[in-house]
Structure 1
Amino acid sequence: MKAKVYVMPKNGVLDPQGKAIGHALGTLGFEGIGEVRTGKVIELELAETDPAAAKAAAEEMARKLLANTVIESFRVEIA
């Protein structure tokens, strides 16, 4: 079973990479760009066959390693 973990900076946390991307888009002539936030997507192939158990395992992995929960939020999707 495949799990995707989406990790993003929490609201209010400085995102210098997002600011740099937003600035670069402006210099390339793209207009109307508001705030840009960057994150990461982590795909996991899990041996678990029960979707609920797979989601719980992926959430535990995110809390313990994949996301810094002090400054990042995450969500898990199971496919």
Structure 2
Amino acid sequence: MKVRVTVMLKDGVLDPQGKAVEHALHVLDFKNVGDVRIGRVIDLELSESDPARAIVQANEMARALLANLVIEDFAAEVVEE
């Protein structure tokens, strides 16, 4: 089963990479772009048949390693069974 964990900086945490991309898009004349935030997506292939247990496992992995809980939030979802 494939589970996707999306990790993003918490609101209020400075995102210099996002600001750089936002500025570059404005320079490229994409003036309608507002705030840009950069995150990461981690796809996990789990040998689990129960979607609820797969989400629990992905959440445990995110808390233990995949996300820095001081400055990042995360969300896990099953994307393929």
- Structures share fold, TM-score greater than 0.5: yes
CA distance in structure 2 between the partners assigned to 1:15 and 1:3 by the alignment? 26
Long gaps (5+) in structure 1: none
Q: CA deviation at 1:32?
A: 1.4
Cα distance in 2, alignment partners of residues 77 and 53 from structure 1 = 11
Q: Deviations 1:34-72 (Å, cap 9, x if unpaired)?
A: 110000000000001111110000000000000001000
Computed over aligned residues only, the root mean square deviation of the Cα atoms, in angstroms, reads: 0.5
Instruction: Determine the structure 1 residue equivalent to 2:39.
Output: 39
In the alignment, the residues of structure 2 paired with residue 35 and residue 9 of structure 1 have an alpha-carbon distance, to the nearest angstrom, of 13
In structure 2, runs of 5+ residues without a counterpart are none
**Displacement after TM superposition at 1:33 (Å):** 1.2
Which whole-Å CA distance do the structure 2 matches of 1:8 and 1:71 have between them? 9
Equivalent-residue separation in structure 2 for 1:23 and 1:58 (angstroms): 34
Counterpart for residue 77 of structure 2:
77
| Aligned twin of 2:62 | 62
Percent identity (aligned): 61
Instruction: Summarize deviations over 1:17-41 as a string: whole Å, max 9, x none.
Output: 0000000001111111111000000
What is the DSSP-based 3-state SS (H/G/I as helix, E as strand, rest coil) of the residue aligned with 1:73? strand
* Paired letter, 1:13: V
Detail structure 1 runs of 4+ shifted over 2 Å in the superposition. Answer: none
> In the alignment, what sits opposite 1:24?
24
